[in-house]
Structure 1
Amino acid sequence: MRRWRELIIDTWGALAYKPAFRAVVEGRSTRLPGPAGASWVPEEDRRRLAAYTILAAYDSNQAAALLGEDGDDRREYGDASVVVDQTLSHLLGETQQIVVEGADDDVTAQEREALLREWAAGEHLWMRMQHAERNAVLLGDTVYLLAWSRAKDRPVLKTIDPGFYFPVLPDGAIDAAEYPQRVHLAWEVPGDPATGRKGTLRRVTYELGPISEEGSTTRTYPWASRPSALTCYLTDAEWDLDQVDKAGDIDALSLRRARFRTNADGEVLNRLDLQVDFIPIVHVPNTIGAEHFGQSSLLSAAQLLDDLAAADTDSQRASATTGSPIIGLSGARLPVDRNTGQPLPVRVEPGMVWPLGDSGQLSTVDMSAQLAELREYVETLRERLSVVTRLPGSVLGTVSPAEVPSGYALQLSFGPLHAMVRSMRLAREAKYPLLLKMVQRLYQLGGVLPSGENHRATIAFGPYLPTDLSAALELVARGVQAGVLSLETGVRILVDAGLPIEDAALEVARLREFPTAVTQRGDSDGNTPV
């Protein structure tokens, strides 16, 4: 009955069987690195931080150290890392591209699209996205941070480890889409005994609040048509770790004990007015759910990964006894140590000869059958891993595409993968347009873009499976010729199919300027298409 009462069903409940995870939740000492059990970590965030650490251990082949046993001889062959990398690859697709609505025929939208693409190149967006989205797939969450740079005259982008992210969610929030009014980014900085520097806790806080204490002051932002009484305040402070226990958790730290940092302009970062009415942080969950945080792609397979590591370890041990079999000797004249008179250890080496007496015998223990069984068990677990993670064997490398009976059968095997990728991309459908909206607003704040409503921009992910380019070309040609597809839609289809078209609007303009042979010649009946 007690175990039933202690059962907690949440995003990270799949790791409740881990002794290290339970130790953090129950407040006991643990071998987990990081501040999961630190006094400044809110109670509701300890399970999340403990889960992040355990999942990172799987990714780095160190999960055995968290099983509560000696894992020195435990074999982990990177199965978790393969699942994460393959999931990430299919999520992002072969290409990523910023697309602005109306850029096909609107000059202003085309200019906005060009500016955002230039910004993406300058900020290495696609490289940062690879890093950020890998965190999302592995840990369940990732975080982007934006700020205006006067030196670069553009918004700068940073990716934040989700373990540093502590949103203060509204009381009673039941909708994952509810945006927090206050967000903390916090981490510990270890001390340096050589210099005598103490360990510190640093906390960067973004908070929405009234422009004035009375709440009567308003401001009209470049992107809004109505005045607003809200602004975003930035506070960057640090505390000595030995003082943190007396100050409370991350949201209740006493500012009387804090030391405030300054920015490049010498301004003290204590409720600095950022002149924006939004928090420039975008949290991206890995999955769709009612909770604020997402779920790792490894959570459902955690126990399976443990079993697979155990089976690999047993297989390795069995292969050692198969390669160097156990040998029994009787009636053999073995070498003797001249000093002690004791038989010397028998070594099995190529070319070794043991003289046997008339009744001497030599026998070996054959373990090859057990090794074959273990290898078959490992393959069974890998097939189960493919089912649980929804990655077909051809993606994980356990099945060769040449072994599939037909292309249709191969296409059917991708069904679960299609569903998973659609769901993961849907979880990001509102997040990247929000990120690009913030980028445009910061450009307006810096005077680069004019005031007014911004265009909706998003990031289009390319195909994640090989496509039949000739079939796509034929589909577009027939569709445009028959008048059931516009030229703009046809070019979009070709972009999604993976053709190297960098600018869809420019491609449409080129096609209209130089009509193709398809639009110039008639069909087989001699009819000239319109």
Structure 2
Amino acid sequence: MGLKSMVIDAWSWLNYKPVFSDPTLGMPNRRAFPQAHASWVPAADERRLAAYKLLAAYDNNQAAELAAVRDGDSARERREFGDPSMFVDTLVSHVLGREQHITVPGAEQAADGDSSAAAAERVQDLLREWAEEELLPMRMLQCERKAVGLGDGVYLVYWDQGKNRVRIKTYDPGFYFPVLPEDGDGADFPDRIHIAWELPEDVKRGLKPRLRRITYELDWIRPLSASGLDQGGRPVRAPVMTVPDEGEQPVPAIGAGDQVDANGAISRQYPWNDAPTFRTCYLTDATWELGDIKGPIDVDTLPLDVATFAASSDGEVLDRLDLYIDFVPVIHVPNTVPPAEEHWGQSSLAKALQVFDELQGTDTDSSRASATTGSPILALSGKAVGQSKRERAVGPGLIFEIGEGGRMDTLNTAPQLAELRNHRADLADQAANIVRLPAVSLGTMDPSKVPSGYALELSLGPLDSLISGMRLARAHKDRLMLRFVQRLFLAGQHPDWAGITPLPAQLVRGPYTPTDKAAVLEQVATAYKAGLVSLETAVRCLTEAGWPIEDADREIEQIESRAFEQARFLADALGNPDEVAAFLGRQAPDVEPVPVVQLPPVPGDSQPDDTAQAGQQTAQRGGGGSS
């Protein structure tokens, strides 16, 4: 009957906007979202890319500009005062926390002499050094800004041969095109991922519009290949052939350390696996001219015979280059826990987007009303004396001369302006309630109006549940990133990582709500004094409460080096000065042997040798005792 079908998917909360869901077709407007309708974009990704652009427009105060594509230039008159951007910035700061720490379980027990704890401490120190060199907090901020505002973020972890360390890069989720399994869970890790975007025409360099696609694919290990040229002079990779024995036919060579089983399958032993595996990750970096892409072709089926392959810094052609890793180093970070069988997260602005539209309308009406309040409308009745119509504009010090029986009336729009401001405040509270951001977290609440700390804690309840869910969606991704970093250091054969076994590491995000440091200190001190918690746990609690402790292990060492009272108890219990010195982190002093006590001779004793003298003294003492 020509009726539009209702679409319910991960982006159906945008169906109310005509520019996103055409009233007749139900698809995004082609003039507003031309990138989503590119010939190489899969049909399943069109709404996703359009949603990203629409959300980015709200974040950058350009929603009116995007709406003008369909509604005309009158839509540009709407005022946008940055409310969505403020919500995004607030949520990003909360989900990141005040600071981030990399911890490896067991590293805090390294002082006990345990070899496994020492290995954990070594891995923890190396990861922290890498995070400092790579500016990890800044990279995380870039990714979280995308994830909170758009719903998804993307990390790429790779080995940089020039810098001799692992690097991390953040991509816009609009460039991310995973090949998801049709019969599997959408939360599974895809074996093939494309990162693709269009390059504009460069007239000065004579370059036409192009499409660049970087592909990471997990596939079976194949024979060794090397950089070469095809018949047309295009750089490609070709198999390396070897002659087993003289007179035999050449056969494909295999990589160093690879093994071929009886079935012809190639296996490889990676330093982080206990058993050999048959899979590896291949990298392809290719570019196409958009004019060469014809027919029903999408990003996953682009023809490689007309592509131009890039080269790495060491000259390797990136045409299915074997990376010698058994994982895809691309990490997708959803903003929320995806629904069952889904892959994509949801923007934090999603459910409140209609309220932001109402805020824009209220801001526009308030702006117009303030103009009439600042420059009031006057009505004159009667005949004006000596003034033309041009001289009747309202201004400071202006005098109107009105004839007999005349009068002047003023249109007061201040009450309407006040009502609009009250309405705006109600809409702002409504948006905060929907997003679950209480006024105290936005900084709009007067601290003097908080009755007690308990009331403040209750008001933060919605925010606690929100951040808990957002951090839950990121917990596994954070651990996965640190796992990839360790494996890439081993694959890159960095000397500092020689002989190290990768260990589970965690990225601990700091507190996000105001904490009563005095109350936390009192609780921790009482529990530690009563022997209910260890010193390591006490220092960790203080760190999470916001105390300026940069290195918990170093802080514990400094505390123990001044714990002379506990050292005295340890000396009384063990009687070993070496262990007491080790507890204080000091060197035990060299103790000279105590000399043997020599008793003075007994008067009248004439024995010449010490043995006889000692025997006589013993006899005399014995005789004296018996008498």
Counterpart contact for 2:13–2:350, Cα < 8 Å: yes
CA distance in 2, matches of 1:401, 1:13: 39
- 2:236 counterpart of 1:185: no
- 2:436 counterpart of 1:356: no
Unaligned runs of 5+ in 2: 110-116, 224-262, 570-627
By how many angstroms is 1:422 displaced?
Answer: 0.7
By how many angstroms is 1:244 displaced?
Answer: 2.1
Determine the structure 2 residue equivalent to 1:320: 371
By how many angstroms is 1:334 displaced?
Answer: 6.3
By how many angstroms is 1:364 displaced?
Answer: 1.4
Length-normalised TM-score, structure 2: 0.78
CA distance in 2, matches of 1:253, 1:335: 80
Counterpart contact for 2:104–2:121, Cα < 8 Å: yes
Amino acid at match of 2:207: R
Cα displacement string for residues 160-187 of structure 1 (whole angstroms, at most 9, x for unaligned residues):
11110000011123342x0000000000
- 2:532 counterpart of 1:484: yes
Cα displacement string for residues 94-150 of structure 1 (whole angstroms, at most 9, x for unaligned residues):
111111111101222111111111111111111111111111100011111111112
Determine the structure 2 residue equivalent to 1:512: 560
The alignment-based identity, stated in percent, is 48
Amino acid at match of 1:208: L
CA distance in 1, matches of 2:459, 2:568: 42
Deviates further, 484-493 or 67-76: 67-76
Determine the structure 1 residue equivalent to 2:239: none
Determine the structure 1 residue equivalent to 2:581: none
Counterpart contact for 2:385–2:403, Cα < 8 Å: no
CA distance in 1, matches of 2:172, 2:565: 53
Deviates further, 281-290 or 193-202: 193-202
Q: 1:21 aligns to what SS in structure 2?
A: coil
Counterpart contact for 2:33–2:50, Cα < 8 Å: no
Give 1 or 2 for the bigger CA radius of gyration: 2
Counterpart pick for 2:153 among 142, 164, 182: 142
Counterpart contact for 1:155–1:443, Cα < 8 Å: yes
Q: 1:375 aligns to what SS in structure 2?
A: helix
Counterpart pick for 1:237 among 246, 264, 286: 286
Say if 1:235 and 1:334 are closer, same or farther in 2 by CA, change over 3 A. farther
Say if 1:409 and 1:275 are closer, same or farther in 2 by CA, change over 3 A. same
Say if 1:366 and 1:222 are closer, same or farther in 2 by CA, change over 3 A. same
Determine the structure 2 residue equivalent to 1:61: 61
Counterpart contact for 1:15–1:51, Cα < 8 Å: yes
Amino acid at match of 1:413: S
- 2:263 counterpart of 1:259: no
By how many angstroms is 1:416 displaced?
Answer: 0.2
Residues 18-57 of structure 1 aligned to structure 2 (within 5 Å): 18-23=17-22, 26=26, 29-32=29-32, 35-57=35-57
- 2:415 counterpart of 1:369: yes
CA distance in 1, matches of 2:564, 2:528: 11
Deviates further, 506-515 or 178-187: 506-515
Cα displacement string for residues 208-238 of structure 1 (whole angstroms, at most 9, x for unaligned residues):
1000278600000011110010000001101
CA distance in 2, matches of 1:188, 1:155: 27
CA distance in 2, matches of 1:33, 1:400: 43
Amino acid at match of 2:85: S
Determine the structure 2 residue equivalent to 1:422: 468
Deviates further, 493-502 or 400-409: 400-409
- 2:134 counterpart of 1:123: yes
CA distance in 1, matches of 2:145, 2:294: 34
- 2:352 counterpart of 1:306: no
Amino acid at match of 1:72: R
Counterpart contact for 1:32–1:53, Cα < 8 Å: no
Counterpart contact for 1:202–1:236, Cα < 8 Å: yes
Amino acid at match of 1:75: R
Determine the structure 2 residue equivalent to 1:89: 93
Amino acid at match of 1:473: L
Say if 1:39 and 1:516 are closer, same or farther in 2 by CA, change over 3 A. farther
Amino acid at match of 1:305: F
Determine the structure 2 residue equivalent to 1:268: 317
By how many angstroms is 1:406 displaced?
Answer: 2.6
Cα displacement string for residues 10-36 of structure 1 (whole angstroms, at most 9, x for unaligned residues):
221111112221249855753435611
CA distance in 2, matches of 1:211, 1:518: 59
Determine the structure 2 residue equivalent to 1:526: none
Determine the structure 2 residue equivalent to 1:468: 516
Q: 1:133 aligns to what SS in structure 2?
A: helix
Counterpart contact for 2:386–2:401, Cα < 8 Å: no
CA distance in 2, matches of 1:349, 1:262: 70
Counterpart contact for 1:247–1:253, Cα < 8 Å: no
Say if 1:175 and 1:254 are closer, same or farther in 2 by CA, change over 3 A. closer
CA distance in 2, matches of 1:378, 1:108: 58
CA distance in 1, matches of 2:542, 2:75: 51
Determine the structure 2 residue equivalent to 1:406: 452
Determine the structure 2 residue equivalent to 1:340: none
Amino acid at match of 1:278: F
Determine the structure 1 residue equivalent to 2:15: 16
Determine the structure 1 residue equivalent to 2:619: none
Cα displacement string for residues 488-522 of structure 1 (whole angstroms, at most 9, x for unaligned residues):
2212111111112222222233333332879989x
Determine the structure 1 residue equivalent to 2:584: none
- 2:213 counterpart of 1:203: yes
Determine the structure 2 residue equivalent to 1:344: 390
Counterpart contact for 1:401–1:410, Cα < 8 Å: no
Amino acid at match of 1:48: R
Residues 440-455 of structure 1 aligned to structure 2 (within 5 Å): 440-448=486-494, 449-450=497-498, 453-455=501-503
Q: 2:266 aligns to what SS in structure 1?
A: coil
Deviates further, 416-425 or 393-402: 393-402
Q: 1:264 aligns to what SS in structure 2?
A: coil
Cα displacement string for residues 316-342 of structure 1 (whole angstroms, at most 9, x for unaligned residues):
1111111111111122336677xxxxx
Question: Relative CO higher for 1 or 2, CA cutoff 8 Å, sep ≥ 6?
Answer: 1
Say if 1:9 and 1:17 are closer, same or farther in 2 by CA, change over 3 A. same
Length-normalised TM-score, structure 1: 0.92
Amino acid at match of 1:507: E
Say if 1:516 and 1:162 are closer, same or farther in 2 by CA, change over 3 A. farther
Amino acid at match of 1:98: I
Q: 1:262 aligns to what SS in structure 2?
A: coil
Counterpart pick for 1:296 among 324, 333, 347: 347
Counterpart contact for 1:481–1:518, Cα < 8 Å: no
CA distance in 2, matches of 1:322, 1:215: 85
CA distance in 2, matches of 1:38, 1:499: 52
- 2:545 counterpart of 1:497: yes
Say if 1:334 and 1:282 are closer, same or farther in 2 by CA, change over 3 A. farther
Counterpart contact for 2:102–2:508, Cα < 8 Å: yes
Cα displacement string for residues 413-467 of structure 1 (whole angstroms, at most 9, x for unaligned residues):
1000011011111111100110000000011112222356411111101111121
Say if 1:110 and 1:407 are closer, same or farther in 2 by CA, change over 3 A. same
Say if 1:74 and 1:289 are closer, same or farther in 2 by CA, change over 3 A. same
Counterpart contact for 2:21–2:29, Cα < 8 Å: no
Counterpart contact for 1:234–1:269, Cα < 8 Å: yes
Say if 1:23 and 1:275 are closer, same or farther in 2 by CA, change over 3 A. farther
Determine the structure 2 residue equivalent to 1:528: none
CA distance in 1, matches of 2:356, 2:567: 56
Q: 1:22 aligns to what SS in structure 2?
A: coil
